[in-house]
Amino acid sequence: MSQYLVRRALAAVPVLFGISVAVFLMMHMVPGDPAKMMLGELAVQKEAVDNMRRQLGLDDPIPVQYWRFLKGAVRGDLGRSMLENQPVARMIWQVLPSTIELTLAGLGIAIVLGFILGVTAAVRQNSWVDNASMVMALWGVSMPSFWMGLLLIFLFSLKLGWLPATGQGGIERLLMPAFTLGYLASAVIARLVRSSMLEVLRQDYVRTARAKGLRDRLVIYRHALRNALIPVVTVLGLQFGALLGGAVVVETVFSRPGIGRLAVTSILSKDFQVTQGTVLMSAVFYTLVNIAVDFSYALLDPRIRYD
């Protein structure tokens, strides 16, 4: 198991390296000059612009700039924000708890809602319950997260006045953003749980368990569901990355601080260091989650071992 962990960690290194290169090059391809944006009205003075570019290290060749960024990232130093003049790592750690809270809450809602819809639809295949569950799932896949967020704000904040529309703090400010983020993922999970459960329910050992007189609920949740979890857990790892990326839109709609809003702000202001740091941090979390998903296979299925 430990050898497998080392191999997976080593395999993640080139992935993170490729992501850092891609983000670094794309940021330099975006039109605009950070030095001019920082100087504002003084940007008309060429000497002032040249001095600012020299201070920021933007006058160095791109390979030199990337090598400087890479050496710092390996040591945990993601550089300093060009606009805020603060360490990027500190800026990320200040907003990271908010994004993790939102992502985990959204994932929890997606798992609960997705499993309820998927299992119910599989057990009552071709019934009105099955059709209604899949319609809800289809609606979730088709509904953009920003539109869902605006609808929830209009209904529960403006019309009913039950929940605050924006900001952070307390579960009442987390419910709508988490549901907005998790509903789309729940639709994907529900469809996959349904198809996996239908396949498992046709297996001989399930028919044998029922023939032995076991209660239907015990057969479904102890025998069938556990064996249907392998493909679902794989999608959960992918959905975590999707939720982490979708937090960008949700945090903007609900005015929540987080990595998403920080990344959008840095892109608009061409703050290279912050953009590179936020994307790299998101990639690290996504990689760690997928490694954890691989390990969970052995817990769900005793036949899987990492020797």
Cα distance between residue 145 and residue 70, in whole Å: 34
Query: Does residue 206 have a pLDDT over 70?
Result: no
Query: Does residue 47 have a pLDDT over 80?
Result: no
CATH superfamily name and code, 92-300 = MetI-like (1.10.3720.10)
Cα distance between residue 234 and residue 119, in whole Å: 17
The dihedral built from the CA positions of residue 135, 137, 138 and 139, taken in this order, carries a sign that is positive
pLDDT digits (tens, 9 = 90+) for 159-181: 887 888 777 777 888 888 888 88
Name the pTM for this structure. 0.73
State residue 213's pLDDT score.
Answer: 67
Cα distance between residue 33 and residue 35, in whole Å: 5
Per mean pLDDT, which of 52-56, 111-115, 220-224 is the most reliable?
111-115
Mark 23-39 as b/e (b = at least 16 C-beta within 10 Å): bbeebeeeeeebbbbbb
Which of 284, 238, 241 lies closest to 92, judged by CA? 284
Q: What is the mean pLDDT of residues 217-246?
A: 70
pLDDT, averaged across the chain: 76
Q: What is the mean pLDDT of residues 201-221?
A: 68
The model's confidence at residue 280, banded by pLDDT at 50, 70 and 90, is confident
Cα distance between residue 29 and residue 254, in whole Å: 30
| Tokens representing residue 131 in the block | 């059709």
Within 13 Å and on the Cβ side, how many CA atoms surround 142?
Answer: 6
Which of 184, 191, 221, 187 lies closest to 206, judged by CA? 221
Sequence-separated (6 or more) residues with CB below 8 Å from residue 6: none
Which of 140, 94, 123 lies closest to 239, judged by CA? 140
State residue 249's pLDDT score.
Answer: 80
Contact present, 113 and 239 (Cβ < 8 Å): no
Give the domain ranges of the chain.
2-88, 92-300
State residue 302's pLDDT score.
Answer: 57
- Residue 294's CB is within 10 A of a number of other CB atoms, namely 16
